[in-house]
A and B are shown apart, each in its own frame.
Chain A
Amino acid sequence: MAHFVTREHIHVDRIATAWAIRRFVDLEATFEFVRHGRDVRGVGGTPFDMRGAELSHRGGRCTLEALIAKYELSDEALRRMARIIRAADLPQEEPAPPEAAGVLAVFDGVRDGSDSDDQRLERGFVICDALYAYCRRNRLAGATL
């Protein structure tokens, strides 16, 4: 059972990455949330979405995409979902899939309306399940029409 560590007050990319870890990497993975600015070298587990961690933003890509690359996940729907997550996480980047703004709004609600990161994770996982199902069904998800 792997233990993963990330920054507290989790939001779209961290939630989606944790979801993908559980779903595609380790069904029993556990998560810990530490304060922003914590040195990744001092955490007891695999850090993600933290400055200096291997699993974090790289070359304009989000952490979920780094996870997909590291674990060589070839699921096409997951890749489509990652494009949406990246655009929601980095709203200044272009081009953005049309779904991104709505996805960001929902995750903003999860972040602001939850009492703890565990609750954010639980609620966020439901959204990720739904978004993944959408991406499986809609091959064109991510098109900028």
Chain B
Amino acid sequence: MTVWRTLRRLGAGVLSPGAAILTYREDLHEQLDWLAQEIEEQEGDAWVLPVTELSEPEEKAVIERMSRELSEEYDALRAEAVSFLHRAAEHPGPDDAYSLRLRTEKELLSLQRRFRKVRGRDYFGADGRKETATTIDRCLAFRQGISARLTPVTDSLASERRR
């Protein structure tokens, strides 16, 4: 289970019960090596095999498979962000109790953190990413000024466009 959880955290797509595929990056390759080492230490078999070529249909199928799940995660996050916006009247103002403001801040931090985690393993720009980022950024209007870590999640998209 730990192995599959780790593969999922890395953003791997499952091809069959015993095989997973991941986009090539030196750091990801290294992490697969550590995972393989862990499996071997438990007397299992593990192979890390760089794929040098895929046919176009295979590549398309792999990307679709890897993006589908991420797209669902974006949808779920966006639904939460929309729910947050629907509760606008309930969110505290600057004069409300610190505990109330902290609760809102933590909710926003959670949305931001989970979005960035999904984006971190979204290697192909799955559907729903941009819309979800925009919706979460709209939520940031309700920041309580407690955490310096709350920053718009669209920053990197904007900088990608500038390049």
Binding site for B on A (CB under 8 A): 9, 11, 36, 51-52, 56-57, 59, 90-93, 98, 145
| 3 residue pairs, one from A and one from B, having the closest CB atoms | A57-B34, A92-B9, A51-B33
A145–B117 CA distance with the chains assembled, in angstroms = 18
A4–B23 CA distance with the chains assembled, in angstroms = 31
Chain A residues, CB < 8 A from B121: 92
Contact B149 A98 (CB under 8 A): yes
Q: Is the interface of A mostly helix, strand, loop or mixed?
A: loop
Instruction: Closest A residue to B113 by CB, please name it.
Output: A94
Instruction: Closest B residue to A104 by CB, please name it.
Output: B27
Interface code B145-158, partner A: CB below 8 Å = 1, 0 otherwise? 00101000000000
Q: How far is the CB of B144 from the nearest CB of chain A, in Å?
A: 15
> What are 24 sample pairs from A and B whose C-beta atoms fall under 8 A apart?
A11-B27, A36-B29, A51-B34, A51-B36, A51-B37, A52-B37, A52-B40, A56-B34, A56-B37, A57-B34, A57-B37, A57-B38, A59-B38, A90-B31, A91-B120, A92-B6, A92-B9, A92-B10, A92-B31, A92-B117, A92-B120, A92-B121, A98-B149, A145-B147
Chain A residues, CB < 8 A from B149: 98
